[in-house]
């Protein structure tokens, strides 16, 4: 734990809830909107970095597209032949 057990889980949860409650009361809906926007930015950056890393580990975007094509994953309409 980050606090080296100097604060219990229950007290930590209550302290966190109190901080969020005060932040919401003081800032209102604007503070919630700003926080949500910042969370969205962090998520998008994380997704881009994760996609770049996994694509690199798979051998590049060309290898990913080739494998997906060979497995039939790029077909947008089902085959009528079967």
pLDDT band of 1, cuts 50, 70, 90 = low
- Is residue 3 within 8 Å of residue 12, measured between CB atoms? yes
Q: Look at residue 78 in the predicted model and tell me its pLDDT.
A: 75
Query: How would residue 46 be classed by pLDDT, with cut points 50, 70 and 90?
Result: very high
pLDDT of residue 57: 96
Stretch 56-65: mean pLDDT: 94
pTM of model > 0.85: no
53 in Cβ contact with 60 (< 8 Å): no
Tell me what pLDDT residue 17 has: 95
């Amino acid at each position: 734990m980050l606090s080296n057990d100097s604060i219990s889980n229950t007290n930590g949860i209550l302290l966190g809830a109190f901080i969020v409650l005060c932040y919401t009361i003081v800032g209102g809906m604007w503070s919630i909107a700003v926080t949500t926007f910042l969370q969205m930015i962090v998520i998008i950056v994380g997704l881009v970095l994760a996609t770049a890393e996994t694509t690199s580990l798979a051998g590049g975007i060309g290898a990913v597209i080739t494998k997906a094509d060979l497995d039939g994953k790029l077909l947008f309409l089902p085959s009528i032949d079967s």
